[in-house]
Amino acid sequence: MFASAFSEPVQKLADAHDGVRLIPRWRAWPWDLGRSDISIVATVEPREVRWSVGLGRLMGHIMNVADVPEGCDFYMGGIVTNGSLKLAISTDGKAPILAKRMREWLEDVLPEDVEENLDELLALRRELKGDFAQKQATLRALTRHFRDKAS
């Protein structure tokens, strides 16, 4: 990660991950980067964006350029994790703030006992008798209230 300065939370995050290097300057050079890596560019300075994207492309990186969807090879969606339940939200880079707000909303509205419900459904699924269609019908009937509550 390249920046003129790093906040304390960023330093702690980097310290917790062996593959993250903090380099206290905004400009990367080819020898700073590895081949076939990922580059995430998050700066509002046009010259820094141009430099970083050009260097990343030169080095064969796949790119994510914050707030520049046309400069992205991939998008980073919002992920909601509640036990074994994982929900992903993406706007294809069009409105990252909406994905963030949706993630925050889902985190607030999902019940805390999701994991317990998933465990119960798994146990029931293993006990169900009959063919696939019969099992699907039973599970749909048992989970229909989730859909009906939202209406």
What gap in Å lies between CA 135 and CA 57, rounded to an integer?
Answer: 50
- Please state the pTM of the whole predicted model: 0.61
pLDDT digits (tens, 9 = 90+) for 36-74: 688 888 887 888 888 988 888 888 889 888 888 888 898
Topology (CATH level 3) of domain 76-110: Double Stranded RNA Binding Domain (3.30.160)
pLDDT at 101: 93
Looking at the predicted structure, is the pLDDT value of residue 35 above 80?
Answer: no
What gap in Å lies between CA 91 and CA 76, rounded to an integer?
Answer: 9
pLDDT at 36: 63
Looking at the predicted structure, is the pLDDT value of residue 151 above 60?
Answer: no
Geometric angle at alpha carbon 147, from 142 and 151, rounded to 5°? 140
Amino acid at 55: L
Phi, psi torsion values for 28, nearest 5 degrees: -90, 155
10 Å CB burial of residue 40 (0-12, 13-18, 19+) is middle
User: Could you state, in order of their start, the residue ranges of all structural domains in the chain?
Assistant: 8-71, 76-110, 113-151
Q: Find, among 127, 75, 129, 72, the residue nearest to 98 by Cα.
A: 75
**Tokens coding 145:** 């209230």
Sign of the torsion angle spanned by Cα atoms 27, 29, 33, 37? positive
Q: Find, among 33, 36, 29, 1, the residue nearest to 15 by Cα.
A: 1
Confidence class for position 122, pLDDT limits 50, 70, 90: very high
pLDDT digits (tens, 9 = 90+) for 61-119: 898 888 888 888 988 888 999 999 999 999 888 888 898 999 999 999 998 889 998 99
**How far is CA 92 from its chain centroid?**
12
What gap in Å lies between CA 11 and CA 4, rounded to an integer?
Answer: 13
A 10 A CB-CB count for 123 gives 9
